[in-house]
């Protein structure tokens, strides 16, 4: 297993092409860039905690391939206990970082790819599963941070990939030879891409035969020749570059995960790292399994982040002298209720997991989707209540530079003082934390990460068993459901 420092060192060995605000970043020092270093720090926690005896049971496990001790972020889930430890670990790390630590996407992609390649090989006589086992074994041995790359730009969403004016709006195989395949297109929104070692590319949707070239899954280094990364902007991100630590809110770990647009221009992938190439019949299965694994996470990671939001709002109330007010207590209790509701769904879909044909365990897909759909709503309520408790100062707080000013600092110190036991600076720190954690990109990620709300609704229609519910109701009412079955 890698230490946090070894993880950082591995990032300096890459030769990436990364642009930010129109400028090419130095590949060797980009992890020190003020807009990127917080994301590196949060990901590094997944390595550092693996060596802490207090968290060993959550952070590490035994490889099902080699029998060696590995970081849990590289494992296959081989039981419901593994699925439960996954979300417990996620909540714990979120409580320590207050943000995203970025390794979950690739991990979920690995578990989905493992089971799908097994079933694909069995049905079609292909040999993708062994290739993926070899790839995942090396992944575990090297303790890579691997990002999952699923979402395509999609262009005109009323058209299929093959009907787009530009075929590159979906990642596709542009050519192939006896050595491997070549990719063109782009992937978007990948959390942690610029501080990963590898990526696992997946199709963005289920495809038909006409779109078989878009049904591709493969692993490749993030610095492979022909790849260009364009790092995205975040709300108030200039605070990281020009302002002090206080104004960043969560200066050490940042906000969410540093997403980017990744462009592929005839990128070569050797056959040994190709795990689907044209088997369109299994593209939808891969997308669905990945999505459900990823939606499982949200009660864990967002539960942990919400724990920090609750704590921060409560401290702000303490510092302002109004924590004992009945309406403040009521709002904090409601935040706790909503957070534990999110957590309950992650626990439930994990506990109800079942083994796949390949042997690794898959979450209950209906409950996983319920959990993620709750996140798209309840996080907004949790954050609204935190802003209510925090007050208008969340939007009007002067800067750290004002506090440090030899001319006006005394006014900031004097007039922003709350309860005398707390310093003005510490009050400002807590107010900024609430502001940063309850606005901007953090909310957008809660809405659209792991799929927008409509994606979960589509899954409900597939998984809810509505016909069985109708039949059960008719039987209780004394109506013979078979009498009307032919009339549907």
Catalytic residues: 100, 104, 191, 259, 294, 298, 301, 445
What are the two backbone dihedrals, phi and then psi, of residue 420, each rounded to the nearest 5 degrees?
-60, -25
Record the tokens describing residue 381, joined without a space: 């309520």
Which residue, among 295, 218, 221, 229, has the nearest Cα to 453 in the 3D structure?
295
Q: What are the angstrom distances between the C-alpha of 265 and each of 144, 171, 275, 488?
A: 24, 10, 20, 50
CA pair distance 414, 346, nearest whole angstrom: 46
**377: number of Cβ within 10 Å:** 13
Tokens representing 406 are: 């030899």
Q: CA 124 from chain center: how many Å?
A: 32
User: What string of DSSP letters covers 380-449?
Assistant: HHHHHHHHHHH-THHHHPPPHHHHH-TTTHHHHHHHT--STTS-HHHHHHHHHHHHHHTSTHHHHHHHHT
Instruction: Give the three-state DSSP class for 355.
Output: strand
Give dist(CA 234, CA 101) in Å, integer. Answer: 16
Distances (CA, A) of 290 to 40, 74, 113, 127, 283: 24, 15, 8, 21, 11
Alpha-carbon distance 192 to 146, whole Å? 9
Reduced 3-state DSSP string for 220-231 = EECCCCCEEEEE
Distance CA 382, CA 49 (A): 28
Q: Give SS3 for 64.
A: coil
Kindly state the tokens that stand for 364: 């209950």
End-to-end Cα separation, the chain, in angstroms? 58
Q: What would the DSSP string read from start to end of 7-19?
A: HHHHHHT----EE
Q: Are 372 and 346 in contact (CB under 8 A)?
A: no
């Amino acid at each position: 297993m890698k230490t946090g420092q070894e993880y950082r060192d591995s990032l300096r060995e890459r030769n990436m092409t990364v642009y930010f605000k129109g400028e090419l970043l130095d590949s060797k020092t980009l992890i020190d860039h003020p807009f990127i270093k917080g994301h590196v720090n949060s990901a590094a926690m997944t390595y550092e905690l693996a060596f802490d005896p207090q968290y060993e049971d959550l952070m590490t496990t035994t490889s099902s391939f080699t029998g060696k001790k590995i970081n849990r972020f590289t494992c296959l889930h081989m039981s419901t206990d593994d699925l439960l430890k996954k979300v417990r670990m996620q909540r714990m790390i979120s409580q320590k970082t207050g943000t995203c630590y970025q390794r979950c996407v690739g991990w979920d992609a690995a578990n989905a790819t493992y089971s799908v390649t097994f079933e694909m090989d069995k049905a079609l006589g292909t040999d993708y599963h062994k290739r993926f086992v070899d790839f995942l074994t090396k992944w575990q041995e090297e303790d890579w941070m691997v990002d999952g790359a699923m979402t395509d730009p999609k262009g005109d969403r009323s058209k299929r990939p093959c009907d787009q004016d530009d075929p590159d709006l979906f990642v596709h195989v542009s050519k192939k030879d006896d050595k491997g395949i070549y990719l063109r297109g782009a992937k978007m929104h990948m959390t942690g891409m610029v501080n990963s070692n590898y990526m696992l590319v997946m199709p963005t949707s289920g495809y038909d035969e006409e779109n078989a070239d878009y049904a591709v899954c493969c692993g490749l280094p993030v610095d492979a020749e022909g790849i260009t990364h364009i790092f995205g902007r975040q709300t108030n991100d200039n605070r990281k570059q020009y302002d002090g630590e206080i104004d960043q809110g969560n200066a050490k770990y940042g906000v969410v995960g540093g997403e980017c647009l990744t462009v592929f221009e005839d990128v070569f992938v050797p056959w040994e790292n190709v795990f689907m190439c044209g088997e369109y019949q299994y593209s939808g299965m891969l997308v669905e399994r990945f999505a459900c694994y990823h939606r499982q996470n949200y009660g864990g990671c967002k539960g942990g982040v919400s724990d920090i939001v609750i704590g921060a709002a409560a401290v702000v109330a303490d510092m302002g002298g109004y924590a004992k007010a009945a309406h403040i207590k009521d709002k904090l209790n409601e935040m706790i209720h909503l957070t534990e509701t999110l957590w309950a769904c992650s626990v439930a879909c994990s506990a109800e997991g079942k083994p796949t044909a390949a042997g690794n365990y898959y979450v209950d897909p209906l409950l996983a989707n319920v959990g993620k759909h709750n996140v798209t709503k309840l996080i907004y309520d949790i954050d609204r209540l935190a802003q209510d408790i925090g007050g208008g100062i969340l939007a009007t707080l002067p800067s750290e530079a004002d506090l440090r000013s030899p001319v006006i600092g005394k006014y900031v110190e004097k007039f922003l003082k709350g309860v005398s036991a707390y310093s003005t600076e510490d009050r400002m720190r807590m107010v900024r934390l609430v502001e940063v954690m309850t606005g901007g990109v953090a909310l957008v990620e809660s809405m659209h990460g792991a799929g927008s709300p409509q994606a979960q609704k589509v899954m409900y229609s597939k998984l809810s068993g509505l016909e069985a519910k109708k039949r059960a109701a008719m039987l209780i009412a004394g109506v013979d459901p078979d009498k009307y079955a032919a009339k549907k």
